[in-house]
Chains A and B, each alone.
Chain A
Amino acid sequence: MRARRWVLTALAGVTGVAALGLYFAFMVSACPPEQASDIGHFGGPFTLVDDSGAPVSERTLAGKPYAIYFGYTFCPDVCPTTLLDLSRWIKTLGPDADKLNYVFVTVDPERDTAASMHTYLSSFDKHIRGFTGTPEQIAKIAKEYGVYYKKIPTDDGSYVMDHSAIVYLMGADGKFVTFIHYQEDDASAVAKLRSLAEAVPSS
């Protein structure tokens, strides 16, 4: 029984790795070589606007590690849950929370304006900033972070979005450190954020 469970787990693991491999192979082949993201190499330059309407780029985030999450405000379940989780983790971090930046990037730039993201984010921790841009600008940053997103039409002529539901943790140098997975337990997520914050010298 135990052996069988082990075999099943191993099989699931191998399938997962294979699927991830295919996904990255697709991501890399879909990008021009100069923009290609290797495994474990996420991030890069971007030009967007924040939820106050001010222009932002990778330089805006430089000097502080950051947590970055991609979603959209029409999302009824995963996005508010993740933003609420992130708000709770920020609160747990206490004063260390200020050592990091927290960014929510929309994958639905057609509906998520700076103003609508600002209203939406008013329900979550004030550290979290919203970034939006043109569809092309969003496509570029999504590609750099290996974020998958796709518009799925619904009956009423509208659409929902499939998208990666992972929080990326990035160093102060803009280099990828680790992920926080969807519904990762609080202790593990806070430990990851705290270790990111502790890498920053106290001012």
Chain B
Amino acid sequence: MRALFKFSSTSKLALIVVLFALTPAAFAQGGGTSTIAAEGPWARATPGGARTGAVYMTLANKTDASDRLTAASSDVAAEVQIHEMSVVNGIMKMRQLTDGLAIPARGSVTLKPGSYHVMLIGLKKPLTVGETFPLTLTFQKAGNISVTVQVKAMGAMQDNKSGGMGKMEMK
């Protein structure tokens, strides 16, 4: 009975693996077949006990048709959403982009502090400097793209300038 149960869960797993391999996601990850490039994905380290974090990167569309980032997911958070942040007349507003984020044909969009970000909600543990974690981005046309996110200092402003203007060693 026990052996039978084990066998059946193994076959379920095998089935899932096969199904996953057949999805467009698997093709999107393979070398030059991807039509969207997710460049330099990074996140800021989070303060103690923080339940949210933000991921930034540049999304470049290499095709002649516009695409749209519609969803994202990651093991590090219970929920991942696409947000736009702005500060107007001293008031910070954050909005979930329920229709996703448009990436123009042959163009690019940069997700950065004070603007667009992929928001991690319900972090399972704080993000610490030097760590990396996986993130899956879902596009309307390009399908799923898996990226590795690099965690930078808490005050970092861009991927290539770790720390930059906000760098500070915190205890």
Q: Are B92 and A123 in contact (CB under 8 A)?
A: no
A interface SS class: mixed
Q: Are A123 and B91 in contact (CB under 8 A)?
A: no
Q: Are A155 and B81 in contact (CB under 8 A)?
A: yes
Closest-CB distance, A91 to chain B (whole angstroms): 7
Binds A, one of B16-24, B25-33, B42-50, B132-140: B42-50
B interface SS class: strand
Determine the interface band of chain B, counting residues with CB < 8 A from chain A: 35 or more
Closest-CB distance, B85 to chain A (whole angstroms): 6
Determine the interface band of chain A, counting residues with CB < 8 A from chain B: 35 or more
Q: Are B170 and A124 in contact (CB under 8 A)?
A: yes
- Contacts A154-B96, A155-B96, A160-B94 hold; do A84 and B113 have CB atoms under 8 A apart? no
- Contacts A76-B119, A123-B47, A156-B81 hold; do A162 and B92 have CB atoms under 8 A apart? yes
Q: Is B95 an interface residue (CB 8 A)?
A: yes
Q: Are A74 and B81 in contact (CB under 8 A)?
A: no
Query: Contact string, B93-131, partner A, CB cutoff 8 A, digits 1/0?
Result: 111101000000000000001100101110000000000
Interface residues of B in 54-92 (CB under 8 A from A): 54, 79, 81, 83, 85, 87, 89-92
Q: Give every chain B residue within 8 A of A165 (Cβ-Cβ).
A: 87, 90-92
Q: Is B143 an interface residue (CB 8 A)?
A: no
Complex: how many Å from CA A19 to CA B91? 12
Q: Is B145 an interface residue (CB 8 A)?
A: no
Closest-CB distance, B87 to chain A (whole angstroms): 5
Q: Give every chain A residue within 8 A of B93 (Cβ-Cβ).
A: 152, 162
Q: Is A122 an interface residue (CB 8 A)?
A: yes
Q: Are B49 and A166 in contact (CB under 8 A)?
A: no
Report which of A19, A84, A119, A154 forms a contact with B166, defined as CB distance below 8 A.
A84
Q: Are A156 and B79 in contact (CB under 8 A)?
A: yes
Report which of A74, A84, A88, A182 forms a contact with B87, defined as CB distance below 8 A.
A182
Q: Give every chain A residue within 8 A of B47 (Cβ-Cβ).
A: 73, 80, 83, 120-124
Q: Is B53 an interface residue (CB 8 A)?
A: yes
Q: Are A74 and B166 in contact (CB under 8 A)?
A: no
Complex: how many Å from CA A91 to CA B167? 13
Q: Is B15 an interface residue (CB 8 A)?
A: no
Q: Are A78 and B87 in contact (CB under 8 A)?
A: yes
Give the A-binding residues of B (Cβ under 8 A).
44, 46-54, 79, 81, 83, 85, 87, 89-96, 98, 113-114, 117, 119-121, 154-155, 166, 168, 170
16 A-B pairs with CB atoms under 8 Å apart are: A19-B89, A74-B50, A88-B155, A116-B49, A120-B49, A121-B48, A123-B154, A124-B47, A124-B170, A152-B95, A154-B121, A156-B121, A162-B91, A162-B94, A179-B90, A183-B114
